Chains A and B, each alone.
Chain A
Amino acid sequence: MHLNEEELEVLRIIENNSRIDLKDLAKMTDQSDSDIEITLKKLEDMRVIVRYLTVINWAKVDEYHGVTAMIDVKVTPKRGVGFDDVAKRIYKFKEVESVYLMSGAYDLSVIVEGRSMNEVASFVSEKLSTLDSVISTTTHFIMKKYKHDGTIFDQTEEDKRIVVSP
């Protein structure tokens, strides 16, 4: 589907800050408040805007106990439906955060979150690798997140400019 420049601009802005005040968003895109609401509604209805999320650095939270694994999955595609059918069987598990069809050495990249390595391991051995179409899995646990969705976690941006300059 084709979007106009105003719609694209709204997406570019809220992609980085979905909590922006709508009045500010209207000013930034030179639209009226009501136009912005209509635009957002339209993009939501079209499922171009799918969901508003928050990037959280859970590593900073002592109470959080969780692990993330990226699993390379090789599968046998099925006649007529290709990879979509097996992808669907995988993404319906609530443990699965993301599923991507990949080019290269394996077919599906599956991101799984669990409370412990054991939990993820048993998901892989009991649920994922037992699926008929799955040929093999390679599980990589994430040790540390440096940058996620374009955001550097450790960054403290400091303005190094002098206060007034010509």
Chain B
Amino acid sequence: MIKTSYVSKTIAELKPSGIRRFFDLAANLEGVVSLGVGEPDFVTSWAVREAAINSLEEGYTSYTANAGLFELRSEISRYMEKQFHVSYRPDDQIIVTVGASQALDIALRTILNPGEEVIVVEPCFVAYAPLVTMAGGIPVTVQTSKEEDFKLTPQQLEAAITPKTKAVLICSPNNPTGTQLGQEELVMLADIVKKHDLLVISDEIYAELAYDEEFTSFAAVDDMLERTIVINGFSKGFAMTEWRLGFVCAPKEISEAMLKLHQYAMMCAPTVAQHAALEALKNGMQDVEEMRRSYRRRRNFIVKSFNDMGLDCHNPGGAFYAFPSIERTGMTSMEFAEKLLTEELVAVVPGDVFGESGEGHIRCSYASSMEQLQEALRRMERFMKNHCQ
């Protein structure tokens, strides 16, 4: 008889994502209008899909170089230079990964010694803290606030730093708040990062979806290229979530170390997806522009509608999430989301799954058709009337 668990203590102690539970609730109901989807509502453009079909027809069914097709890395290098004014050599500073998620994983595992701390800015993507833990590090969470539009302040950053701090993990534009950090804000944060000799892991997966201000990469801030690991990919801006294709750009020393991990753990990203991504970078920028415009309209629409119905909502500068406050209903975000789902069949994600400071908010993805958004908002307005006097 087996008495001990075969599961490692680290993994056994990990909490399952709060989103999962909510998915199970929503998936069992009929007629749900969902604002809970964290991915584009666009299907990948036909030109990109066609490139993938062609890749299969041509018989590209073998491995690529560990770091990815050189042609793709060269194209990524040009793209990073052109869009974000940061320069990375395709030879030894860019690795094509299986989604931005794998990029994050190898970045963290490459830099962390056991017990080293990573500052994780909440509310944030549900995987950040667990990924730090799984890499043997300790996530130190910093709670941003609605009053600061969910922006990390230099004071907060400084206060969270200890002798064990190795890196800051930051996502802008952010999931779930949509908050985008402007250049000046990045410069102020960078000063502290430099002062304490830290690294920044900058998750820029939503970089293409910035609506008001031009997006600034953390690596583009003065003297930050050498201490930033940029995570990016094709999922969000290019509407390619299914392809699981991301990339990571880093200084040579880190990049070469990450490549060791990548080659042992993953070998390489799928070839068909790499050919698709190549087409997306070469000819897909106009599609990206059109999608950005479309999200921007829906952002304007949903934020205005929330504020009109009494759900206080800051203006998210990017991504495709609105993060309104539900505090005036007196409910917790979990209560609100459950009631809204069962009474009105609208799925949103309770803010607390993204961290303590997400409590009192709900994440509403506006990556849905205008008809779906209108229907969801009608139902939510009725819900608010029934629950707030």
Contact = CB atoms under 8 A, between A and B. Distances in A.
Contacts of B19: 164-166
A144 interface: no
A161 B37 contact: yes
B304 A27 contact: yes
Interface stretch (B4-12, B145-153, B293-301): B293-301
Given A165-B38, A166-B125, A28 B26 contact: no
Given A13-B297, A29-B300, A166-B126, A24 B374 contact: yes
A164 B23 contact: yes
Contact of B32 (A24, A27, A163): A163
Interface in A124-166: 159, 161-166
B349 interface: yes
A43 to B, nearest CB: 17
Nearest to A20: B370
A12 interface: yes
B347 interface: yes
A30 interface: yes
- Taking chain A's interface residues, is the majority helix, strand, or loop, or is none over half, making it mixed? loop
A30 B300 contact: yes
A166 B298 CA distance: 20
Nearest to A28: B297
Contact of B39 (A12, A24, A28, A165): A165
A24 B17 CA distance: 35
A9 interface: yes
Contacts of A161: 37, 39, 41
Interface residues of A, number: 17
Contacts of B36: 163-165
B126 A164 contact: no
B323 interface: no
A9 B374 CA distance: 20
Contacts, number: 59
B257 interface: no
A163 B374 contact: no
Contacts of B53: none
B38 A29 contact: no
Contacts of A12: 293
A166 B36 CA distance: 8
Interface string B34-54: 101111010000000000000
A29 B297 CA distance: 6
Interface string B116-135: 00000000011100000000
Contacts of B349: 164
A164 B37 contact: yes
Given A161-B39, A163-B27, A27 B127 contact: no
B336 interface: no
B27 A162 contact: yes
Given A28-B301, A29-B300, A164 B127 contact: no
Interface in A69-89: none
Interface in A30-47: 30
A159 B370 CA distance: 13
Nearest to A165: B38
B22 interface: yes
A31 to B, nearest CB: 9
B305 interface: yes
Nearest to B372: A159
A28 B298 contact: yes
A9 B297 contact: yes
Can you list the 7 inter-chain pairs with the closest CB atoms, starting with the nearest? A164-B36, A28-B297, A164-B23, A27-B304, A163-B26, A27-B301, A165-B38
Given A163-B32, A165-B37, 18 more contacts: A24-B301, A24-B374, A27-B301, A28-B298, A28-B301, A29-B297, A30-B304, A161-B39, A161-B41, A163-B23, A163-B26, A163-B34, A163-B36, A164-B34, A164-B37, A164-B349, A165-B23, A166-B127
Interface of A: 9, 12-13, 17, 20, 24, 27-30, 159, 161-166
29 contacts: A9-B293, A13-B297, A17-B370, A24-B370, A24-B374, A27-B305, A28-B300, A29-B297, A30-B300, A30-B304, A161-B37, A162-B23, A162-B37, A163-B23, A163-B27, A163-B32, A163-B34, A163-B36, A164-B26, A164-B34, A164-B37, A164-B347, A165-B23, A165-B37, A165-B38, A165-B39, A166-B38, A166-B127, A166-B175
